[in-house]
């Protein structure tokens, strides 16, 4: 049994909440919670590469096998969806949102590999983090793509997976970078795209209504991402 504990480890109450999504009856060489799940949570939290996982966990090949298997099965998405709905109900909201906010952020990356390119508007050489969140700030989908690609090129790819997992009609709030997609969003997703205008006409930064929720999440992602030099779509 692993003795060292990390801040990313599941608590007992957290494990009780999610363990029904996993097969816990079968005997395994490695403990599903302590040796596998905690290792998976440690990797994105600290930026630790799979091959550099601490030795007290299961071998990195085993950890990655389970991560990839659960991802391909859709188990992780199912789990995240259930947790989002639980959090929303705890604050008195419907399990599924009727409103989403979509936004994008360019981040610098290293030269080594990856889908990097130059964002001329932001003067950033790297990638973009594309995020769709609800009004509670809970992320419903995240997509990473080249910084040189315009937001409008990837907006539907961000929203389509959400559409497949929900039946509730939604209003999508976005900034002027997404202007022109209103008809396409309505035709392909049967949702409404609402472009949020700036409240002032002065040059410089302005916090737009609704969009500030997504901006907060993007800033949080920057602070919690020591891995921004090695962002990978597998996350």
- Please list the pLDDT of the chain residue by residue as tens digits (235 residues): 677 889 999 999 999 989 888 988 888 889 999 999 999 999 888 888 899 999 999 999 999 999 999 999 989 988 888 889 999 999 999 999 999 999 988 888 765 555 667 777 777 888 888 999 998 889 999 998 888 888 899 999 999 999 988 888 899 999 888 999 999 999 999 999 999 876 655 544 344 555 555 555 555 444 433 333 333 333 3
Q: How far is CA 228 from the centre of its chain?
A: 14
Q: How far is CA 29 from CA 1, 11, 36, 59, in A?
A: 11, 22, 11, 11
Q: How far apart are CA 233 and CA 18, in angstroms?
A: 24
Element (H, E) at 216: helix 211-223
**pLDDT recorded at residue 58:** 94
**pLDDT recorded at residue 167:** 82
**pLDDT recorded at residue 109:** 76
- Name beta bridge partners: 190: none
Instruction: Report strand pairing: 117-119 vs 171-174.
Output: unpaired
Q: How far apart are CA 57 and CA 6, in angstroms?
A: 11
Instruction: Report strand pairing: 99-108 vs 171-174.
Output: parallel
**pLDDT recorded at residue 25:** 83
Check: CB of residue 188 under 8 Å from CB of residue 162: no
């Amino acid at each position: 049994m692993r003795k060292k504990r990390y801040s990313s480890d599941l608590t007992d109450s957290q494990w009780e909440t999610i363990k029904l999504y996993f097969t816990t009856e079968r005997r395994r060489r490695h403990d599903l919670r302590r040796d596998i799940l905690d290792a998976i949570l440690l990797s994105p939290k600290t930026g630790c590469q799979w091959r550099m996982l601490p030795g007290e966990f299961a071998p990195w090949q085993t950890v990655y096998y389970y991560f990839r298997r659960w991802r391909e099965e859709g188990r992780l998405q199912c789990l995240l969806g259930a947790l989002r709905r639980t959090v929303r109900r705890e604050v008195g909201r419907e399990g599924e949102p009727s409103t989403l906010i979509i936004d994008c952020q360019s981040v610098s990356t290293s030269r080594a590999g990856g889908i990097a390119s130059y964002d001329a508007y932001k003067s950033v050489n790297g990638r973009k983090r594309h995020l769709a969140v609800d009004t509670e700030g809970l992320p419903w989908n995240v997509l990473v793509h080249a910084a040189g690609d315009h937001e409008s090129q990837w907006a539907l790819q961000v929203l389509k997976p959400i559409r497949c997992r929900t039946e509730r009609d939604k209003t999508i709030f976005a900034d002027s970078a997404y202007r022109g997609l209103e008809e396409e969003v309505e035709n392909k997703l049967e949702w409404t795209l609402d472009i949020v205008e700036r409240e002032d006409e002065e040059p410089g930064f302005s916090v737009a209504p609704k969009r500030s929720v997504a901006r907060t999440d993007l800033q949080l992602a920057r602070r919690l991402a020591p891995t921004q030099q090695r962002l990978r779509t597998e996350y």
